[in-house]
Amino acid sequence: MSITKYATKTGTKSRVTFKLSTEKADDFNARRVVVVGDFCDWKVEQGKEMSILKDGSFSATITLDAGKSYQFKYVVNPGESDCRWENDERPDNWVTDSNGNSNSLVVID
């Protein structure tokens, strides 16, 4: 799992690519993955569907406002009996929300 950030020309936004590795996708038996977070009010149906790549990893790119940080998770197999919410392995940081859940954090400079 990894995050890559690219600032836009104006510098007010950044394109953030989220990636779930082939190994983790295999471990989770991932058939479908959605990245969700406070940028979509944690609603799976408003999250970003990740594309499966040739190597079996999953990837999605989202444009986010600069100067902010965003909590997020990967929802693996949403709506299925084996659905699970997973953190990124190497986020910018981890935070605990008001419900005591650990979430990944991406910081956009």
What's the helix, strand, coil split of the chain in %, to 5? 10, 50, 40
For residues 55 and 21, the answer to whether their CB atoms sit within 8 Å is no
**23-75: per-residue pLDDT in tens?**
999 999 999 999 999 999 999 999 999 999 999 999 999 999 999 999 999 99
Q: What are phi and psi of 45, to 5 degrees?
A: -70, -15
**74-86: per-residue pLDDT in tens?**
999 999 999 999 9
Q: How far apart are CA 96 and CA 2, in angstroms?
A: 20
pTM (two decimals): 0.94
Which secondary structure element, helix H or strand E, spans residue 24, and what is its range? helix 22-27
Phi-psi region of 40 (alpha: psi -120 to 50; beta: other; left: phi over 0): alpha
Q: How far apart are CA 99 and CA 83, in angstroms?
A: 20
Q: Which domains does the chain have, with CATH numbers?
A: 2-108 (2.60.40.10)
